[in-house]
Amino acid sequence: MSVMKRILILAQQHGNEPLGRLIYTELKKRGEQSPQIEYMVANPKAVRQKVRYTESDLNRSFNCRPRDTYEKRRAHTILQKIKMRNYALVLDFHTTNCEVGSMALVHGLNHEAMNFIGYTTITKVVDMQNDIASHSLIGSYPNSISIEVENKTISDSIIKGLADAVINFLHNKPRKSKQVKLYTVTELITKKSISIVDQKRLQNFVKFNDQYYPILVGNNSYKKQTHYLGFAANNKRGYTV
């Protein structure tokens, strides 16, 4: 008899990104409402207001002092619960307007996170090793993973495939190993580091000027709300999960 694991589906760190809710709804349709699957809406205030966040980006609000925004206080509450419950894995689902297809973000090659990726169709994994990770979920809890899916690619098959991965991971179903492309991010692509002309040339996962691989660049919120355009991966290599 297989050993069951307990996971948390963390939905809507950003209030306008419904992927986590859609996957949990799919799991409920299949009758997968077991004690092993817990669900949390991360940013209910932003969901109600139909905005990305209310005062600060929740996924940049972990381990912050003072806790002077709603999101910083909420991040503290979420992290306290996660640590208390000691989940085998926290699945943090996001959507993006950037042209990335589907990708996974981790902080270090955690066994449970990489195992989960093996059950999905995801082939691009980004290891966030820059300082910004310390204020994100993946940099705060080792057994966590952020899944990003491009908005225009979301479909029933994507939702069902990720629900399948949740079930198969929980039940320790046999799977074949597979190769993914692993990108290691060490720096931000700051606005002041690149000309406006070159900004338009950036393509996700395509090496720029033989320097770095841009990650999450393009039509995203970073341009207006931060000093950076996206992330710079200094290498790419094959990795077996």
pLDDT digits (tens, 9 = 90+) for 120-167: 999 999 999 999 999 999 999 999 999 999 999 999 999 999 999 999
Q: Residue type for 33, please?
A: Q
- Look at residue 219 and tell me whether its pLDDT is greater than 60: yes
Q: Order of strands across the sheet with 144-150?
A: 37-41, 7-11, 89-96, 144-150, 102-106, 124-128, 179-190, 228-240, 213-215
Cα 223 to Cα 29, 157, 189: the distances in Å are 38, 31, 11
- pLDDT tens digit sequence for 155-206: 999 999 999 999 999 999 999 999 999 999 999 999 999 999 999 999 999 9
Angle at 223 between CA 221 and CA 227, to 5 degrees: 115
Residue 106 predicted with pLDDT over 60: yes
238 DSSP 8-state letter: E
- The per-residue pLDDT for 3 is 57
32-46, 62-76, 97-111: least confidently modelled range: 32-46
pLDDT classification of 7: cutoffs 50, 70, 90: very high
- Single-letter code of the amino acid located at 68: D
Sequence ranges of the domains in the chain:
7-179
Which class in CATH covers the domain with range 7-179? Answer: alpha beta
- The per-residue pLDDT for range 44-78, each reduced to its tens digit, is 999 999 999 999 999 999 999 999 999 999 999 99
CB neighbours of 25 closer than 8 A, spacing ≥ 6? none
Predicted TM-score of the model (pTM):
0.94
Cis peptide before 66 (omega within 30 of 0): yes
Confidence of residue 1 (pLDDT cuts 50, 70, 90): very low
C-alpha closest to that of 27 among 162, 200, 210: 162
Q: Which is more confidently placed, 28 or 220?
A: 28
- Per-residue pLDDT for 33 more than 80? no
Region of residue 131 (left: phi > 0; alpha: psi -120 to 50; beta: else): alpha
For the chain, how long is the longest CA-to-CA vector?
A: 59
Hunting for tokens 């039940």 — which residue is that? 171
Mean pLDDT confidence for 109-117: 97
The count of residues in the chain is 241
Query: Where do the H-state alpha helices sit in the chain?
Result: 19-29, 44-49, 70-85, 111-118, 156-170, 196-199, 222-225
